[in-house]
Amino acid sequence: MRGEALRGHLDLLLLAAVRARPAHGYAIIENLRLRSGGNLNLPEGTVYPALHRLERAGLLKSRWSEASGRRRRTYEVTERGLTELRAQEQDWREFSRAVEGVLEGST
Partner 1 sequence: MSRSRSIEVYLGELRRELAGGRRFKRRVLSEVEDHLREGARHEREGGVPDAEAERRVIERFGSPRLIASRFAEDLAGGGARAAARAMLLAMFGVVVLRFLPSPALGELLGMPANGFFEPPGPWPGDDLPPHLRPAIDVAQFAFLAALGAGAFAFWHARRHGRGARLPRGELRVVVSATMLALAAFAASGVADTVFMFHRAAAVPGSPSPLVHAIFATVRALITVAGGYFVVRAVLRLCSLRRLGPN
Residues near partner 1, by CB under 8 A: 7, 10-11, 24-26, 29, 43-46, 48-50, 52-54, 56-59, 70-73, 80, 84
Q: CB nearer to partner 1: give 4 or 104.
A: 4
Query: Minimum distance between the CB of residue 102 and partner 1, rounded to whole angstroms?
Result: 25
Q: In 3D, which of 56, 59, 57, 58 has the Cα closest to residue 13? A: 59
The CA-based dihedral angle spanning residues 19, 23, 25, 31, taken in that order and rounded to the nearest 10 degrees: -60
Which residues face 71 on adjacent strands? 66
Residue 19 backbone dihedrals phi, psi, to 5 degrees: -65, -45
Query: Minimum distance between the CB of residue 43 and partner 1, rounded to whole angstroms?
Result: 3
Distance CA 95, CA 74 (A): 31
Q: CB nearer to partner 1: give 20 or 70.
A: 70
* Residue 75: strand, helix, or coil: strand
Q: CB nearer to partner 1: give 35 or 100.
A: 35
Tallying the residues shown for the chain, one arrives at: 107
Q: CB nearer to partner 1: give 82 or 101.
A: 82
Query: Minimum distance between the CB of residue 97 and partner 1, rounded to whole angstroms?
Result: 20
Query: Minimum distance between the CB of residue 105 and partner 1, rounded to whole angstroms?
Result: 30
